[in-house]
Amino acid sequence: MSPAPLARREGGAGETGIRLTEQQQRARRARSIAIAVALGVLVALFYIVTLVKGPGVLERPL
């Protein structure tokens, strides 16, 4: 399956641009949400571990 083709837009002054297809927009939105969730989990992880370990969160055995 090959990637969906780009839709190119011709502007009045001869400008060209990239307009994402519906499929590309949906894929980008899903990836963005997944990245946001992953970063949120990472933040939550650091927060919870800080609560568990107390002030010396970076004190750990070698």
Footprint on residues 4-23 left by another protein (CB under 8 A): 4-6, 18, 20, 23
Q: Cβ contacts of residue 16 below 8 Å, gap of 6+? A: 8, 9, 10
Footprint on residues 29-48 left by another protein (CB under 8 A): 30-31, 33-34, 42, 45-46, 48
Backbone phi and psi for residue 7, each to the nearest 5 degrees, phi listed first? -105, 120
Quote the CA–CA distance of 55 and 48 in Å, as a whole number. 12
Q: How far is the CB of 61 from another protein (least distance, A)?
A: 4
The radius of gyration of the chain's CA atoms, rounded to the nearest angstrom, is 22
* Contacts with another protein, residue ranges (CB under 8 A): 1-6, 18, 20, 23-24, 27-28, 30-31, 33-34, 42, 45-46, 48-49, 52-53, 57-58, 60-62
